[in-house]
Amino acid sequence: MFNLEKLKVLFVEDEEKIRINIQEAIGEEFALFETASDGLNGLQKYKDIKPDIIVTDIEMPHLNGLEMVARIRKISPDVPVIILSAFSEKEKLFQAIDSNVSKYIVKPIDIDELLEVISDLSNKFDYQHLIELSMGYTYDSLQKKLYLNDDFITLTKKEVLFIDILVENKESYAKNDDLYKKVWNDSCSGTTVRTFVQRLRNKTNKDFIENVSGLGYKISKR
């Protein structure tokens, strides 16, 4: 079984008693078990914590669970979602399937069943694509995303390409020729690259990217 202590779970449920009971029952099993009281709150919490798995009710005020999932899918198409609902009507089930949910559990919630479903989903995870860098940064080589702790760093397409090449060569350095070719198609000047790197340092940390004099660039190991 996958180590649940590495997982971040977002549990979205408008009934306070259920939220409290579930958190008390299984919250300590995970690296983070965050709760939200409705779909809008859940959407914001998703953006804040970037959970590995979402568990959500359907019928909630402000924004229902399926609407919330549809919005989250625009941000992260592949995050696993477990739907909880007292409804057994085919219409609700079909809507859940259309939302590309991973599992569907009918209320009342059975704690053991919920844990088993989360465990089954987590067994499919492969964290080898999460690469720990220096200064608290992590790079997701699958999603091509850079994080500082749990905060997502917004990058342009060229910045993503640049970071991706540096990560591939993190044990040494990325050669200028490779960077110029893959990021700029050999259509750039030294000034263009230096300005680009300075902007990227401003987004991250002034020491995050190091210049290897006359040769290329690398990610700091400080």
Indicate the pairing of strand 137-140 with strand 216-219. Answer: unpaired
What average pLDDT does this structure show over 204-222? 94
pLDDT, tens digit, for every residue of 174-199?
999 999 999 999 999 889 999 999 99
More confident residue, 152 or 202: 202
Poorest-confidence range of 24-28, 47-51, 63-67, 100-104?
Answer: 100-104
pLDDT above 50 (res 118): yes
Q: What secondary structure, in 3-state letters, does 38-84 show?
A: CHHHHHHHHHHHCCCEEEEECCCCCCCHHHHHHHHHHHCCCCCEEEE
What average pLDDT does this structure show over 135-161? 88
How far apart CA 127 and CA 12 sit, in angstroms, is: 25
Q: What is the mean pLDDT of the chain?
A: 88
Indicate the pairing of strand 151-153 with strand 174-175. Answer: unpaired
pLDDT above 90 (res 152): no
Q: How many residues does the chain have?
A: 222
More confident residue, 93 or 76: 76
**Residue 90: predicted pLDDT:** 53
**CB-based contact 58:14 (threshold 8 Å):** no
**CB-based contact 141:164 (threshold 8 Å):** yes
Residue 7 banded pLDDT, cuts 50, 70, 90: confident
- Domains parsed from the chain with CATH numbers: 4-125 (3.40.50.2300), 129-219 (1.10.10.10)
Cβ atoms < 10 Å from Cβ of 23: 16
pTM of the model: 0.59
Token match 């079909």: residue? 94
**Residue 2: predicted pLDDT:** 47
